[in-house]
Structure 1
């Protein structure tokens, strides 16, 4: 399931509507949103529930959805032709109870749209209530995977699974984007185990990643934060850090399809969170949660010692900063309870140490 919105139909211009709890947002919701976006010039998404999730209320879930559909080429500007997607979160106190009858819910949405001056042309849903809801609004209805054949899950089923311990969530996590799963402290089952390399700037992570991938006969995942930093000529903004954390997970999943035995990962969300604090003195709660589940996501964590010759490539900070960064990484790992192995010496020595740990 992609999280890149398709281009809208060139004509006629029309606005679509999707309404739901999105508790939690799952692959079925992504299918619904992406199918809808392909057929309208603008898509309005209303997120609400009453009672609401006490841990992650509608505003948080709406924030996650906005992040998912931020766009993979964000660094290069908005994608030409992409469907504008507006996601609105409504507080639980302002909406009817979930147990209210269909007419109450339909009329609530109709009146809300009228107050906002919204004109809707088509409703998209994956629920049986969809046709009656659209008829009440006086618009067309389009059903998307009502039988759950493309994505065999539902919000009700996933909420029940999330109510259990994270360890027992199991295969249900496959129906949730890894970014969303991380918000609930869950890591989807991996097709191959992952090892991650951390380290200060110019500590040899990239060189070691390439060497390890060759030695293990597998794939490796470059540091997306570095890529984006260069694409934006060093001018990252606060929102970019969460985007980096989310995109890194997607790149890992893509690379896992080519991996054999192990997947080598250059950096993780914990380091991205550190840089968020370093550059902006704050960190998005969603990125904090991605950092917290790094212990479950990676089977082994290795930290490269900053003893390699410093290379000033024009993008890095001063050499003296390396020692501070190294200490900050170790402190964060210990505070998060993530075991790690230090790597020192030549590239060959570091590869040998990793192989010895992997067994």
Structure 2
């Protein structure tokens, strides 16, 4: 198998998925040095610098840049690796050879568009930093120990569904760093026993009178029901409804994740 001096992979990686990582690893194995160029995308959902950080984390031995000028500072490009049959034209722009990797997407049947449309269905194709960015944070706001018990019970209920939900986690009142750590290894939803309304969440479950005031950003659902089973049932219904809606990742004006 032919080897190259300096290889190049170009993409928007919005978001990066298993197919992208396979492409980069294949190029890395066949090159003495590899540069990954993360491009800015029109109407991008997340900044190029963030996507570059994700790629650098997953591929620590690869040089990740955000401009063609930075590519050229590494020297002549010998090979451009893509998964597109029309990558020949891109390679010619760099005076390089085109190497096409799995153009049929047979090894990893996923695309960035598919992830944006159905993140839950594509969850197994995502690495830790993207999972953390996409995870829906659901907080229970109410008096302890009831709020903590409900957050734990919700996580256990989703775990029993199996599949992608088997890794559902919950966290007690803790800092953002701990939440981020848990979200990187969990399921598409993370339950938080929130002591206050200060943090930002995607969905707030209000499980009683809110002496500290209502939370700001995020959808709010007041749970109705007497007793723990009824309260848990109402909470599951609210979360299922929320997760079943579009996550707003694949349309105009989707904004930040």
Q: Under a length normalisation based on structure 1, what TM-score does the superposition of the two structures give?
A: 0.43
1:286-325 to structure 2, matched below 5 A, reads: 294=202, 301-303=204-206
Post-superposition offset of 1:131: 5.2
Q: Is the counterpart of residue 146 in structure 1 residue 103 in structure 2?
A: yes
Summarize deviations over 1:47-92 as a string: whole Å, max 9, x none: 336xx50x328x8134224236536xxxxxxxxxx632333223xx
Summarize deviations over 1:206-261 as a string: whole Å, max 9, x none: 4433345557882541339959857xxxxxxxxxx8xx18x6165114xxxxxxxx
State the match for 2:171 in structure 1. 223
Counterparts of 2:52 and 2:172, CA distance in 1: 21
Conserved 8 A contact 1:212-1:351:
no
State the match for 2:232 in structure 1. 354
Alignment size in residue pairs: 225
Q: Is the counterpart of residue 331 in structure 1 residue 202 in structure 2?
A: no
Task: Tell me the C-alpha RMSD between the 2 structures.
Answer: 5.4
Greater fraction strand:
2
1:222-301 to structure 2, matched below 5 A, reads: 222-223=170-171, 226=174, 229=177, 244=180, 248=183, 251-253=186-188, 265-267=190-192, 275=199, 294=202, 301=204
The structure 1 residue matched to 2:150, chosen from 208, 232, 244, is 208
Q: Which runs of 5+ in 2 are unaligned?
A: 161-165, 238-257
Counterparts of 1:357 and 1:207, CA distance in 2: 12
Conserved 8 A contact 1:25-1:61:
no
Q: Under a length normalisation based on structure 2, what TM-score does the superposition of the two structures give?
A: 0.56
1:2-81 to structure 2, matched below 5 A, reads: 15-22=6-13, 25=16, 27-37=18-28, 43-48=34-39, 52-53=41-42, 55-56=43-44, 60-67=47-54, 69-70=56-57
Counterparts of 1:214 and 1:20, CA distance in 2: 39
Q: Which runs of 5+ in 1 are unaligned?
A: 1-11, 72-81, 91-108, 163-168, 189-193, 231-240, 254-262, 276-287, 296-300, 308-322
Greater fraction helix:
1
State the match for 2:84 in structure 1. 127
Conserved 8 A contact 1:305-1:344:
no
